[in-house]
Chain A
Amino acid sequence: MSKSNIEEINRNIYDIKNKDEYDFKIKKGLTPEIIKEISKQKNDPEWMKEFRLKALDVYNKLELPTWGPDLSELNMDDIATYVKPKTGLSNSWEDVPEDIKDTFDKLGIPEAEKTSLAGVGAQYDSEVVYHSMKEELIKQGVIYTDMETAVREYPDLVKEHFMKCVPVNDHKFVALHGAVWSGGSFVYVPKGVKVDIPLQSYFRLNSPESGQFEHTLIIVDEGASLHFIEGCSAPKYNKVNLHAGCVELYVKDNAYLRYSTIENWSKNMLNLNTKKAIVGKNAKMDWVSGSFGSKISMLYPMSILNGENSKTEFTGISFAGKGQNLDNGFKVVHNAPNTSSLVNAKSISKNGGTCTYRSLVRVNENAKNSKCSVSCESLMLDDISKSDTIPTSDIRTDEIEFSHEAKIGKISDKTIFYLMSRGISEEDAKAMIVRGFAYPISKELPVEYAVEMNNLINLELEGAIG
């Protein structure tokens, strides 16, 4: 990549703050009254209202995690859990209010929709403001819509799957999500349908002192395949924002799902997201994840390999800078014979940032003949940052091959000298090595996103190196 390309990046695009205008913003805090009000605002069916209230009960009973980053600055009394934007849902960008459309324009969403996506959903604060999909997919029976529409129009499918993969009592922030969830995407790919071009949902949180709690539910039916991309960002405010989304993925027998995320929340965000996939017989679930933003992130996507011969791969990178504590990782449970998992996790820490790789590999008694291979690599860019690797393995059968490898270190002086001897400046040499380090992840992303990721890396490296 040439230098001019680096200079072209406008670091402000993620930071555009629109006026905090909304149709409705719920009172801060969490009480049954507030939950009932959200439910009313959202025109929930009765079962959903009951579900929310039960989830609130569970939330109140559960403790904060006793491990990981310190979450004490989070005070739910200071967070508005529901902010309804001043617009309804449209399927034409023309109908989206100018300033909101402008934000998504600058993030490149409508442009990507034209060139490389089969469908787009765009959420602004608590509600999806735009959803659209190519005609031919509609004809093939693919459903791609916002979660509220799904609750109304596909109640059976939703009831069967909603918070069954991620149960409400999983942890405190899942319970919170269950109580206040709003927005998100619903995808159903019918049996045998292969969606060749990705669908993308983009989540934007504009409102200060608020939370985003979108729910993404994807069902890839038998023999079907899908690539789904999730993007997220927010402008930076002084007080914390909270993101506690939930992603439930059902990859049925012989199906394939790739779920890619480029997360670039602002650095006042607490990203306490939960993602889980249940993978059927001969099916495959691939995760690709780039984590750049957030003040604190606790994110451990999970694959449950329930079907024989099912497979999963996780490819992820975290990049923590000043004031960031990114506690990310992956969890996999091998629950059937001949299953396999492959993990390739990387992290970069600089300027006082902390990266932690935290993971679980569990191979159950019945998962005979399974394989699991994990590789972690952490790069320290200075001596004020921190990088921890905390991987747990729990092997309960002998017919397995399990291996885990991790490395930690800095960019070697020898490598920098080698590149400089070819006329490349120290700064560029380091950037080149870091991009190379991240390449196994960026190469898994569609070109536009790989470029975006490289831009983010360059952005993050500016000022950190030299």
Chain B
Amino acid sequence: MSENLLEIKDLYVNAEEKEILKGINLKINKGEIHVIMGPNGSGKSTTANAILNNPEYKKEKGKIIFGDEDITNLKTDEIARKGIFMSFQLPEEIPGVSVTNFLKYAKNKSTGKPVKIFEFREELKKYMEELNMNSKNMERSLNVGFSGGEKKKNEILQLLVLNPKLAILDETDSGLDVDAIKTVSKGIEMFKNDENGVLIITHNTKILSSLKADYVHVLVDGRIVKTGTQELAKEIEENGYSQYK
């Protein structure tokens, strides 16, 4: 496999028959943290959903290459098993399926190997401690009755357990208090290494105070209008997006 992790080529995407993405190009290499910033409705979440091929978003044009494989039209679960993980802005609640069972099953699917229950539980416990999560949540139904913060932490827990090659974090920092953002950043740091990549999607810069990005892209009206370094994020924090509109 090359150094190249993900490459998006000239991607056009429609949602509910409206053109949202109008020619996105993006390249992520191993070991890099990328941030996509942009105002509400600019197409940030659409980008994440398009990578995972959410059937509600229709790709009109363009390609998505993962490693050296074209994943543009693969099914969501196949893409996930190739090693792309997405942390959801609004994680779904699944009654009757416990966090443990769900993760065990998902892990089994992603590695293709049977999961050893005892070791798995220990691993889960360890991560939960690191993320300041109540270990009682292990037996609760997935996301059901979880607070906003608990849901987001649960997404990071899944990230650590499934250990993908590329993590896409869609507004993982939104709606969280300072402590929770620190915990989430800690989780991302625990995950990050030279072999994997991270794509953070956010509309504010809070998470960048405790995490260093290699590239910052500004997405406005379905196009990346500027790419820069962490400095660019600072500038946006001060001046907003209006100059790019």
Chain A contact residues, CB within 8 Å of chain B: 1-2, 412-415, 417-426, 428-429, 432-433, 435-440
Contacts and interface: CB of A to CB of B under 8 A. Distances in A.
A5 to B, nearest CB: 11
A437 B80 contact: no
B52 interface: yes
A414 B109 contact: no
A1 B110 CA distance: 15
Interface string B221-240: 00000000000000000000
B75 interface: yes
B158 to A, nearest CB: 7
B75 A426 contact: yes
A436 B94 contact: yes
Contacts of B135: none
A418 B92 contact: yes
Contact of B80 (A422, A428, A435): A422
B86 interface: yes
B209 interface: no
Given A423-B109, A423-B162, A414 B141 contact: no
Contacts of B162: 422-423
Given A421-B86, A423-B80, A425-B77, A438 B56 contact: no
B77, B91, B102, B109 pick with most chain A CB within 10 angstroms: B77
Interface string B136-159: 000001000000000000000010
Contacts of B86: 421
B92 A415 contact: yes
B96 A420 contact: no
The secondary structure that dominates the B interface is mixed
Contacts of A426: 75, 77
B73 interface: no
Given A417-B56, A422-B102, 7 more contacts: A419-B94, A422-B158, A424-B77, A432-B94, A432-B102, A439-B95, A440-B95
A413 B56 contact: yes
Contacts of B210: none
Contacts of A425: 75, 77, 109
A436 B141 contact: yes
Contacts of A424: 77, 80, 105-106, 109
B145 to A, nearest CB: 14
A289 B114 CA distance: 33
A418 to B, nearest CB: 4
Interface string B177-216: 0000000000000000000000000000000000000000
Interface of B: 52, 54-56, 75-77, 79-81, 85-86, 88, 91-92, 94-97, 102, 105-106, 108-110, 114, 141, 158, 162
A423 B106 contact: yes
B27 to A, nearest CB: 22
B143 to A, nearest CB: 9
A425 B86 CA distance: 16
A436 B96 contact: yes
Given A423-B77, A425-B77, A435-B96, A418 B91 contact: yes
Contact of B76 (A415, A421, A432, A436): A421
The secondary structure that dominates the A interface is helix
Contact of B92 (A414, A438, A439): A414
26 contacts: A1-B105, A413-B55, A413-B56, A414-B92, A415-B92, A417-B52, A417-B54, A417-B56, A417-B76, A418-B94, A420-B76, A421-B52, A421-B80, A421-B86, A421-B88, A422-B110, A423-B109, A423-B110, A424-B109, A425-B77, A432-B97, A432-B105, A433-B97, A435-B97, A436-B95, A438-B96
B119 to A, nearest CB: 17
A435 B102 CA distance: 12
B87 to A, nearest CB: 9
A420 B77 contact: yes
A445 to B, nearest CB: 14
Closest 5 CB pairs of A and B: A439-B96, A436-B96, A420-B76, A423-B80, A418-B92
A366 B121 CA distance: 53
A422 B94 CA distance: 13
Nearest to A443: B96
B96 A440 contact: yes
A432 B55 CA distance: 20
A457 to B, nearest CB: 11
Nearest to B109: A423
B155 to A, nearest CB: 10
A104 B79 CA distance: 46
A433 B102 CA distance: 11
Contacts of B75: 420, 425-426
A424, A433, A435 pick with most chain B CB within 10 angstroms: A424
Nearest to A422: B106
Given A2-B108, A413-B55, A413-B56, A420 B80 contact: yes
A30 B217 CA distance: 82
A437 B96 contact: yes
Contacts of A419: 92, 94
B55 A433 contact: no
Contacts of B76: 417, 420-421
Nearest to B93: A415
Contacts of B158: 422
Contacts of A2: 105, 108, 114
Contacts of A417: 52, 54-56, 76
A417 B52 CA distance: 9
Contacts of B94: 415, 418-419, 432-433, 436
Nearest to B108: A2
Contacts of B81: 423
Nearest to B83: A423
Nearest to A4: B114
A366 B79 CA distance: 62
A113 to B, nearest CB: 29
Contacts of B77: 420-426, 429
Contacts of B141: 436, 439
Nearest to A436: B96
Contact of B95 (A418, A422, A437): A437
Nearest to A418: B92
B80 A418 contact: no
A398 B86 CA distance: 52
B89 to A, nearest CB: 11
B54, B96, B102 pick with most chain A CB within 10 angstroms: B96
A411 B106 CA distance: 19
